């Protein structure tokens, strides 16, 4: 009887041991690898996220720098203010390169929105008394025409404003006139040469220059600025 009980107890111990071994094997071969794989994937995901964050930070900086650079370049082409001083300085540089002589620069419409730009007549600009006085002073001379651009009636963004002006110049000859025009076109600021009119130089102009074949011209130019 004792032997039977002892055998049963031994059998239970053996079965328990087998079950423990089986559970250990299941954990070692199934659960443990899955746990390690999970931990490895979590580490990988964390690493990838860190790399993505680093790449984002690296990409963002050049983009912002590029946007600032592009914005700066655009403002050089279409400034946010009139920048008349810079415009006149650029024209003076053209004058030096082409060896021309600028007699005058006449501005108009630099306060007007493109869509609303109109030519103001002399009657609207001055009173009759002023006109009479001007007529007496000039003794019949025709007043200078106020420049107005053909693009004044174009449909353009309402924030875009124009500056139209005439440049009256004297050059040595046609070659130097062409140099002046090409240098004027090379100014980085966006501009449009509306027209070029050849004139007969006056006697006073001829006395002021040292060259014989004088070319007198009036060049009408329109440039723009963006008013936010």
Q: Using CA atoms in the order 171, 172, 178, 183, what is the torsion angle rounded to 10 degrees?
A: -60
State the average pLDDT over residues 89-96.
92
Shared domain for 116 and 39, answered yes or no, is no
Phi, psi of 193, deg, nearest 5: -85, 110
Phi, psi of 141, deg, nearest 5: -70, 145
To which H or E segment does residue 191 belong? strand 191-199
Shared domain for 73 and 34, answered yes or no, is yes
How many whole angstroms from its chain centre is CA 75? Answer: 5
Size of the chain, expressed as the number of residues it contains: 228
What CATH number corresponds to the domain at position 136?
3.30.70.60
Please give the model's pTM, rounded to 2 decimal places. Answer: 0.55
State the average pLDDT over residues 191-212.
73
Question: Residue 79, Cβ neighbours under 10 Å: how many?
Answer: 17
Say whether pLDDT at 139 is over 90: no
% of the chain surpassing 90 pLDDT: 20
Say whether pLDDT at 1 is over 50: yes
Shared domain for 64 and 91, answered yes or no, is no
Say whether pLDDT at 199 is over 60: yes
What total of structural domains would you count in the chain? 2
**Domain end residue (candidates: 47, 77, 107):** 77
**Domain end residue (candidates: 46, 77, 108):** 77
To which H or E segment does residue 53 belong? helix 32-77
Instruction: Kindly indicate the confidence band of residue 2, based on its pLDDT and cuts at 50, 70 and 90.
Output: low
Shared domain for 71 and 93, answered yes or no, is no
Shared domain for 104 and 214, answered yes or no, is yes
Shared domain for 32 and 90, answered yes or no, is no
**Domain end residue (candidates: 77, 92, 110):** 77
Decide: helix, strand or coil at residue 220: strand
C-alpha closest to that of 166 among 83, 227, 107, 93: 107
Shared domain for 38 and 57, answered yes or no, is yes
Question: Which span out of 42-56, 62-76, 127-141, 210-224 was modeled with the highest average pLDDT?
Answer: 210-224
- What's the CA gap between 59 and 53, in Å, rounded? 10
Shared domain for 47 and 130, answered yes or no, is no
Q: What's the pLDDT tens digit per position in 8-37?
A: 677 777 777 788 878 877 877 777 777 777
Say whether pLDDT at 50 is over 60: yes
State the average pLDDT over residues 199-212.
63
Q: What's the pLDDT tens digit per position in 53-71?
A: 676 676 566 545 556 667 7
Shared domain for 66 and 15, answered yes or no, is yes
Q: Which domain holds residue 3?
A: 1-77
């Amino acid at each position: 009887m004792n032997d039977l009980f002892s055998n049963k107890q031994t059998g239970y111990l053996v079965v328990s041991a087998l079950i423990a071994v089986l559970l250990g094997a299941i954990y070692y071969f199934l659960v443990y690898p899955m746990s390690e794989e999970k931990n490895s994937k979590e580490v990988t995901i964390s690493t990838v996220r860190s790399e993505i964050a680093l790449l984002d930070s690296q990409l963002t900086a050049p983009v912002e720098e590029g946007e600032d650079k592009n914005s700066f370049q655009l403002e050089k082409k279409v400034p946010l203010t009139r920048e008349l001083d810079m415009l006149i300085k650029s024209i003076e540089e053209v004058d030096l390169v082409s060896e021309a002589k600028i007699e005058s620069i006449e501005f108009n419409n630099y306060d007007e929105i493109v869509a609303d730009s109109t030519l103001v007549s002399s009657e609207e600009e001055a009173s009759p008394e002023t006109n009479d006085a001007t007529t007496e002073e000039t003794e019949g001379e025709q007043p200078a025409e106020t420049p107005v651009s053909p693009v004044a009636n174009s449909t353009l963004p309402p924030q875009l404003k124009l500056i139209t002006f005439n440049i009256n110049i004297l050059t040595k000859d046609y070659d130097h006139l062409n140099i002046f025009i090409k240098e004027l076109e090379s100014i980085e600021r966006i501009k449009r040469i509306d027209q070029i009119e050849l004139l007969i130089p006056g006697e006073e102009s001829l006395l002021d220059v040292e060259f014989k074949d004088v070319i007198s011209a009036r060049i009408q130019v329109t440039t723009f600025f963006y008013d936010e």
